[in-house]
Structure 1
Amino acid sequence: MRYLDEQPPQPRRVKVRDREDVGIVIDPGKNFGVGGPAGFVYCLGIHFPDTGEVRYYDQDMVTDA
């Protein structure tokens, strides 16, 4: 439940290694892969407003902007 004076949560803004632009996290986490622990990669879905792209990146490549 939200109160009338409560501010909505702000989107998480992030930078991805090897990219200059800032993205917004739209999917906070998804496992990709098959098999045991070494077979899964935990990724974040990120929208880049400047280019309109939506891509998934390994969480280890993402830092807060």
Structure 2
Amino acid sequence: MAAAPICIACNIERTLVSIQPTRNRHDVWQYECSTCRSIFRLVTQRASLESDDAAFENPPLRAGSR
């Protein structure tokens, strides 16, 4: 996300206060207004980890010579 959401009551940028993981690869991002303390929650899908998964695969076995 590029910028935090704007509070519609105070017209200022909210502050990210928590990110909570949920089921099915989603997160709940919670933003709070520092002036009126109103809460804004945004559900986002987590980024794919396919490129990271490849790093954890077993490397191919090589025949060694002794």
Q: If the TM-score is normalised by the length of the shorter chain, which range does it land in?
A: 0.3 to 0.5
TM-score by length of 2: 0.39
TM-score by length of 1: 0.39
Higher strand proportion, which one? 1
| Larger Rg belongs to | 2
Relative contact order, higher structure (CA 8 A, sep 6+): 1
